[in-house]
Structure 1
């Protein structure tokens, strides 16, 4: 039986001859259905986030595995963690079949290469300290399934996300998550509904993980890297808000703290930058806990 991501939906017969308005409405409805598919699996995402945070909190790495559209969606989520939350790149691994820079024929063909998955799992020394998120629209991509199997054999915490109810990775992963986003408006085009559902699910999952690791205070990105003019201005506003101080004091504290927002907030409270870093370390990087620290 064909997977749901490959099904032909008869409602869209003749799509190529529809008016622009009807064509776009159909695509929009497909995107809305994709986002809506995340709602029913929020509990599964919470379970996954808790498992991931336990491994990462103990010094483990976050590993993303995927091929094709699913792999590029995973790559995008991974790339955003550093700037948004200050999560170190040294603790993030992206196993994208064929690599980001591969030629189109190599990129598409690599999803069938199980020996490549075996080599990369070995080369990255995936272990029980790590957490692995594997993503495949069909749930049966050979590269992704093999990588997930090996990661679980090595003791890693494993999460499998797919858009097919009988996807193989759902049974392989410790936490399997089914996104009921299919069938696609353009049959089989998982860059559309499935990709949108995956991106939304990963956004939610990784944000919850980062919150559990102390990278948010209220709804503010206190782990953010202030790497440009816009972000430095945002950092000043964040410090000012949390510390209830003016922009000049916040800016001065940030300068003394190498623009580390969490350190800067503690500096506004009278700590030296070195003392602030020590308090944060003792608080596992959690600013709220650091502000309540007494010793």
Structure 2
């Protein structure tokens, strides 16, 4: 792909180039941490900045590198950094050079208080509370707390008939172990979730006015990649899939006019004033990809300010990119 052929518009100026699956965490002191998949899929990186804008040019620190062989030796994907009970953890997916699609979720723990400077140790694969979780292709793990309980949501393929990637949810016993069996949260039910591959993945949580909104990504990683959404009241039964509402149409999808193609795998953070909500996501500026889109390096990071309609629901618009 000739980079001179990029579709450049007023809306698709990247925030951070060549970083996919972006995750931004706002700390208690107001500063920000950033991590994402790198094109080589061989390491986990972190950036820190006093401001959100400053992440673009912040020094990047490699805090962990892939193993030379065995587990965690290939396809290092979608890291997320979380602070649980004042300790830092990173959740990520990785494969095995001897079985490159044996993707599983793993956990790192920081040995100190500074995630950028202190060392990290491996806690191994996320531990299940049943005999069937993480037995197949599993990735894109996120965690969140609601009403005093920590929850884990991740994508996992099932292998009965056509392999499809579903989203599952469970409660957590510790940062590296689940306490309940997995519950199927959503499957790729609609046509826009089934382009090339049947996929629900990349969950991200957004809170607002007593509601939880869970966005996720669907279909293959080319221009068909898009975002759906589930929602539930904060006091709802989170382990009851029928208590969640699933949107019939994607909430974010490719916009050819604006040159934003395959938007997805997002995270949410707060604006510097602590009031506004911001979505951080990746997208491409073109569709002409040689080979597998998964290995195209030019998924860039973008930012969007979230607005809210009169019913209190999030409004996603590329007009609000910045």
Question: TM class by shorter-chain length?
Answer: under 0.3
TM-score by length of 1: 0.24
Normalising to structure 2: TM-score of the pair?
Answer: 0.22
More strand by share: 2
Higher helix proportion: 1
| Structure number, greater radius of gyration | 1
